[in-house]
Amino acid sequence: MKNIQEITSAANPLIRLTSAVVHTHRRATKEGLFTVEGLRLAETAASSDWKIRHVLVTERALSGERTRALVDTLIARGTNAACVTEAIFSTIAETEHPQGIVLLMERKRGVLLDALCVRGQADAPLCIALDRVQDPGNVGTILRTADAVGASAVILLRGSADVYSGKVIRATMGSLFHIPFAEGVSAEELIRFAGSEGMDLLAAACDANAKPHFSEDLCRPAIIVFGNEANGVSEEILTAAEPVYIPMRGRAESLNVATAATAVLYEALRQRFCTQT
């Protein structure tokens, strides 16, 4: 196959590197790389401005029209491509039923809080902050929902799940490549950022002084913080924020954090766009 390297040995340096990125968090962080698995996610990544280092694909996957078209497009852009055996692909795949395509991609370096541009937007900025939210599925779902409602950015505080983990990426369904985000942020940095950007800080909390989220003005510039699945938002942030809660009429003790974020985000969307005449 023209312009596609054939790899048949698991000892190949590219396979060893990709396997290390997939299976070793420290190595992935050190190399500044991550992987994207599956055709739909790969197509979304290819349509973004993110840097794709390599595409690895099986011969069976290349027989599919969409996969072949995507690989041809990436090769035309100068991306290195390699065809690997099914046995080798199984060592770099994370899913139970792999589709035979993996992208080795570069992480966005320097995605820091101060790099987020929330000023000057047509609509009042709305950010979501995650305070030590550790479940990858929750983090990915919140990123996807924030993208769906047109939120300005997602801010991940230290202790939250790695946004570049395979489980987070798959849960975003490609939204990782669309919505701005910052990671590794401290509570102090978040509070300072809210003040410098003129954004009100709200926190989801079961607090005696909390107001229902329906009664909050979510059209104003705001950062809404959702906390750790077990312990909620930290005291440091709660002290600086306005507490809000989501009313519940049934007997459930609480909502999943991704569900809670969805409820608040869609109330913000309703207030901002669905009540306009």
pLDDT above 90: percentage of residues in the chain: 84
Strand partners, 126: 222
Average pLDDT, the chain: 93
Sheet strands (E) in 67-210: 80-84, 101-106, 126-131, 153-157, 181-185, 200-204
- In order of their start, the domains of the chain are 5-106 (3.30.1330.30), 113-274 (3.40.1280.10)
23: Cβ–Cβ under 8 A, 6 or more apart, which residues? none
34 has pLDDT over 90: yes
How far is the C-alpha of 137 from the C-alpha of 124, rounded, in Å? 28
Can you say whether residue 78 is alpha, beta or left, with left for phi > 0 and alpha for psi between -120 and 50 degrees?
Answer: left
The stretch 264-275 carries a mean pLDDT of: 91
Chain segment 166-204, per-residue pLDDT in tens: 999 999 999 999 999 999 999 999 999 999 999 999 999
For 205-236, letters b (16+ CB in 10 Å) and e give bebeebeebeebebeebbbbbbbbeeebbbee
pLDDT on residue 276: 58
Residues 6+ apart with CB under 8 A from 251: none
Give the pLDDT confidence score for residue 275 in this predicted structure. Answer: 66
State how beta strands 33-37 and 101-106 pair: antiparallel
Q: Strand ranges (DSSP E) for the chain?
A: 5-7, 33-37, 52-58, 80-84, 101-106, 126-131, 153-157, 181-185, 200-204, 211-212, 222-227, 242-245
For 110-158, the pLDDT digits (tens) are 566 766 766 556 678 999 999 999 999 999 999 999 999 999 999 999 9
User: What is residue 57's predicted lDDT score, i.e. its pLDDT?
Assistant: 98
Which of 50-59, 114-123, 251-260 is predicted with the least confidence, judged by mean pLDDT? 114-123
Q: pLDDT at position 141, please?
A: 98
Predicted confidence (pLDDT) at residue 31 exceeds the cutoff of 90: yes
Residue 115 has a pLDDT of 64
